[in-house]
Structure formats: C-alpha cells, structure tokens
Structure 1
Amino acid sequence: MNTNYEHIKVIGFDADDTLWVNETYFRDAELAIAKLMAPYETANTIDQELFKKEIENLPLYGYGIKGFVLSMVEMAIEISNNTVSNKTISSILDIGKDMLNKPVELLDGVEETLKTLSKSHRLILITKGDLLDQERKMEKSNLTQYFHHVEVLSDKKEANYSRLLEHLNIKASQFLMVGNSLKSDILPLVNIGANAIHVPFHTTWLHEQVSEEETYKKEYQTITGLTELKKILNQHLIQS
C-alpha cells in the first residue's frame, strides 16, 4: 500500500461525517418516525420500507434531508393505506425542519487539521446532497477560509470525480481524497488512479456500505481521525 504522499498537491475532503456530524441525525429521525407510525407497522418494517422508498427516490430527489423527508411522507401514506392524518404528516415535516436546523458539530481535530494542511496543500471540499443545505452547513462551520474550492455533486461516482479533477486541472496522481464513505469517497478515487484515505464514522447509511469483495486489493489507507492525517502528512508540510 502506498503511504508516501510526498507527491500530493491537492487534498479533497468529504463534508458529512468527515468534517461534521450528519448521519446521527438521520438515525434519530428514523427512530422518531418509527414512533409516529407505530399504530400501522413495527419499527423494523417501517425502517425497511423507508429505506426502500429512499433508494427508489434517489434518481428523482437526490441525496439530502429534503429528499429524505419526502420519502418519509410517501412511506407514511403507503403503509397507512392513505389513512395517515394531517397531524402526522405535519409531525414528519417537523422532523425534517429540525434536521435542517441542527447546529454544525465539528468532529475532533477538524479545524486544526485543515488550518495546518492549508498552509502546504491546496484544499477542496467535495460533498453531495442538497445545495442549499450544504451551503448552510459550510457557512455555519466557519471552515470556508481553508478551502480553495467547494463542490456539491449530485453523486460521487468515478465519472463525477474525473470531470471535477479535469475541470480544476488536477492530476489524479497528485490528488488525495479523505472521507468516511468507502463507496463514495474512497473506491471511486482509487479506481481512477487517485489516492484516498478512509476515516470511518461510527455509523454508516446502509446504501453507503460495501462488501469485502469490493474493497479486495484496493489500495487506500485507513485512519481513526483527522488528527492522524496531520501526523501522516507532517513530514511533507511547510513548517510555519
């Protein structure tokens, strides 16, 4: 495995669950809607049906809280056989609004790491989801100053990354992506000849999980947190 990053000139960072907490709020929302819809189905069935609806709606709504809320509403209508009350629908919308109004909680060592690495590397933020929501979180995070470029993608597949790197005139061999999702942040970059470091978050959406077969013989490094990233790259940093 190549752990020599001396050639790296640009570092890309995922946002949700790499820089700040995100997935935890979705898990809380799933628990909340399970309670709301308890008169109609078991919590396990509600969770399964909601996931099916989310995947079904991804081509229409994309990623993010707003699409998630629409999927919750559709799921509630379907499992209740169109009998769910207006009050319950209103409560579902409130769950979504509460998610959108959550404070931005930075993960350990994020700002310190970005501040240090921005002195020696060109940093870019690469995230996916709802543009307005991601812009809101970016503004609340107070991290904008450390990034040369911010990109909100509709999806994170090999073609999306290739187009972005070409647009920004970045060679894949000189690019390092850092993120929590093997499916979205790591494997696509490895497959196009870039470098990647995986920083796992304690919970992962089912849609973002990958099998051992998918990661077999893929070259990437795994670290426990962003403070470790700073140590790994420290030997190549310009000392201030």
Structure 2
Amino acid sequence: MLTTIGFDADDTLWQNEAFFRLTQERFAMLLSRYADPLLLAQRLEAAERRNLGHYGFGVKGFTLSMIETAIEVTEARVPARLIGEIVAAGREMLEHPIELLPHVRATVAALATEYRVLLITKGDLLDQERKLAQSGLGELFDGVEIVSDKTAESYRTIFARHGTGADQAMMVGNSLKSDVIPALAAGAWGVHVPHGATWALEAADPPEGHRRFHVIETLAILPALVESLKPGRNG
C-alpha cells in the first residue's frame, strides 16, 4: 500500500539543467580563443566528475569546475578578467528566478490530500532552500530533505523517518541514476519523468522489467498512475 510520495526538485518540479547549459555556452565563448568548444566541454565534464566528491552537486561546484578548467586549458594564463566573468556567471545562476514545470502545483496539491508528500533533492543547501522558497510549493510538502547524494540507504532512511518505510513509498524524478534506480533498490516504486535536458553525469540505463518501475510523460499523469496502484486496481 502506497502511503508516501517523494519528489525530486531540479528538472522535475522546476527548470534547472537549461540554465547550466546556457552558462556552459557562455563559458565556451569566453574561452573560445584558448580551446575548441568540444574539447572544452570534455575537459569541463572531466573536472566535474573529479570534483563531485569535494564540492558536491550544484552551482558552486560547477563554477569552481569552470574556473579549474579555464586554468587548465590556458596553461595557467587565463586573465583575471575572465575568472571574474566566470564567477559572475555562477552568481547569476544562483540568482535566477524559479520556473515551475507544467502541472507541478496541481499534481503535488492533489496528491497531498491523500498521501504524505516529500521533497527529496540533492545539491547546495542554501541554493535548494532558495529555490523551494521561491517556488511557492513549500507548504504542500510534509517534509523536505536536502542530501549530499541519493542512495538506496538514504531513501530507506528518509522514507522510514517521514513515512511508513520504503516499501510503501514512491520516488518521482527526471534522473534514472539518482531518483529511480536507488529508490527501486530501497524497495520503493520509481517513477521516471524524462526531461528534455539531462546532465551527462546523471545518465543511466532504464531498469526495464522491474515491477515497480514506471515512466510517465508529464506529472499530469502521476495521479492516475498512483490511483492504478491502489490495492485491487492493478490485478
């Protein structure tokens, strides 16, 4: 029996990756005289992978990785002016207003009348708190968890603390790697809501054939899916 539904935040409830891509395009323009855009993108992705364990997820780690990449590709000759522009680009990302995705408020509000609904996101604490406050969705959630990473163990802990255990919980998100696969491993349902832009470091193969894995095109379909999972409704 389903009692608890967890929602990812970035690119599930509101736009996020699009702003990273716009900033990366700006970064490529700033460094165009020093490196080919494709090579620069590869070096930046490698830096992000290296730095996840140090800086975690979010804009601040991305900005530091851009600075590190700029130093590398220019052999430490990057002008201070360009470093300043990279820092300014990161600050602008942190100040960008929230853009809710379609059907978000109506879906969360509808499910909140019958289930415990949680926000489970990873990234920088201050930035995620800012985005939640600006979203206007805060009052709809029974609990908010901002974690350093999403693992099967973290889902077990969160669903035990806020609900009735992972086996009676569902996680909904755009990332197979972070939102779906570890939630399934914890014993929950995992619902994938694909987003047009997904970070390369979040790529993963879908867990085809898993009995608790579902894919929906938009959040508008989620209430009907949840209804179909009620005892006696799914055969």
Q: For this structure pair, what is the TM-score category when the shorter chain's length is used for normalisation?
A: over 0.9
Are the counterparts in 1 of residues 3 and 163 from structure 2 also a CA contact under 8 Å? no
Question: How far has the Cα of 1:168 moved from its partner?
Answer: 3.0
Moved over 4 A (4+): none
Q: Aligned with 2:66: secondary structure?
A: helix
- Following superposition of structure 1 onto structure 2, how do residues 187-198 of structure 1 map, counting pairs within 5 Å? 187-198=181-192
Using the aligned pairs only, state the percent identity. 41
Are the counterparts in 1 of residues 59 and 94 from structure 2 also a CA contact under 8 Å? yes
Q: Aligned with 2:48: secondary structure?
A: helix
Verify: 1:176 aligned to 2:158, yes or no. no
Q: Aligned with 1:127: secondary structure?
A: strand
Verify: 1:117 aligned to 2:144, yes or no. no
Q: Counterparts of 1:85 and 1:125 in 2: how far apart (Å)?
A: 41
Q: Which residue of 2 aligns with 1:224?
A: 217
Are the counterparts in 1 of residues 150 and 178 from structure 2 also a CA contact under 8 Å? yes
Q: Counterparts of 2:14 and 2:161 in 1: how far apart (Å)?
A: 27
Verify: 1:14 aligned to 2:8, yes or no. yes
Verify: 1:81 aligned to 2:64, yes or no. no
Question: How far has the Cα of 1:158 moved from its partner?
Answer: 1.2
Q: Counterparts of 2:209 and 2:223 in 1: how far apart (Å)?
A: 25
- The one-letter code matched in structure 1 to 2:97 is P
TM, length-normalised to structure 2: 0.94
Are the counterparts in 2 of residues 9 and 175 from structure 1 also a CA contact under 8 Å? yes
Verify: 1:35 aligned to 2:20, yes or no. no
Q: Counterparts of 2:128 and 2:115 in 1: how far apart (Å)?
A: 23
Q: Counterparts of 1:42 and 1:113 in 2: how far apart (Å)?
A: 43
TM, length-normalised to structure 1: 0.92
Q: Which residue of 2 aligns with 1:129?
A: 123
Are the counterparts in 2 of residues 13 and 123 from structure 1 also a CA contact under 8 Å? yes
Unaligned regions of 5+ residues in structure 1, if any? 1-6
Question: How far has the Cα of 1:171 moved from its partner?
Answer: 1.5
Question: How far has the Cα of 1:234 moved from its partner?
Answer: 4.6
Are the counterparts in 1 of residues 94 and 127 from structure 2 also a CA contact under 8 Å? yes
Cα-Cα RMSD = 1.3
- The one-letter code matched in structure 2 to 1:217 is G
Q: 1:75 to 1:20 in 2, by over 3 A?
A: same
Are the counterparts in 1 of residues 176 and 205 from structure 2 also a CA contact under 8 Å? no
Deviates more, 1:182-191 or 1:224-233: 224-233
Question: How many residues in Structure 1 have an aligned counterpart in Structure 2?
Answer: 228
Q: Counterparts of 2:23 and 2:164 in 1: how far apart (Å)?
A: 39
Q: Which of 140, 148, 165 is the matching residue for 1:146?
A: 140
- The one-letter code matched in structure 2 to 1:222 is V
Unaligned regions of 5+ residues in structure 2, if any? 231-235
